[in-house]
Amino acid sequence: MPEAMRPKRDVPQVPVVKSQLERWQATGVVALSECNLKALPDEVLTCGSSSRVLDLSHNSIQHLPAMINSLSSLHRLILNGNEIMDNSLSCEELASLKSLMVILISLNQNQNVPVIPQIFPSSAYYSQS
């Protein structure tokens, strides 16, 4: 029977947020690039240790919340193209991300973040330019 003629079943619609959250937890990749965000959504923090990559590039985020440290298994933090300023990066929260190997913060309002190379081990990579 052609699909157009098949009777429609009542399939519950899964909210986008729930499906995104499930995908983030399953893959470990939280991809929120170019989403017009002004802040980190609270739902991201519920991913906890399942998050390995957090891509917040090309939004309007000005600072990261203190609870960013709940993403304890984060390997890559991509913040390129936001509105992050020097004083909005908390050294304590970033230092608590022991698994973080890459942080990208170019094209922001930050002019000088000298503490980043001191916070992370020599194997960590960061880009500010």
Place of tokens 């304590």: 92
pLDDT of residue 119: 60
Q: Report yes or no: 55 and 81 within 8 Å, Cβ to Cβ.
A: no
pLDDT of residue 13: 36
Is the pLDDT at 78 greater than 90? The verdict is: yes
Identify which has the larger pLDDT, 125 or 69. Answer: 69
pLDDT of residue 1: 45
Q: Concatenated DSSP letters for 80-112?
A: TTS---GGGS-HHHHHT-TT--EEE--SSS-S-
Name the band, by pLDDT with cuts 50, 70 and 90, for residue 32: very high
Domains, in order of start, for the chain: 27-127 (3.80.10.10)
Question: Is this structure's pTM higher than 0.85?
Answer: no
Q: Report yes or no: 113 and 87 within 8 Å, Cβ to Cβ.
A: no
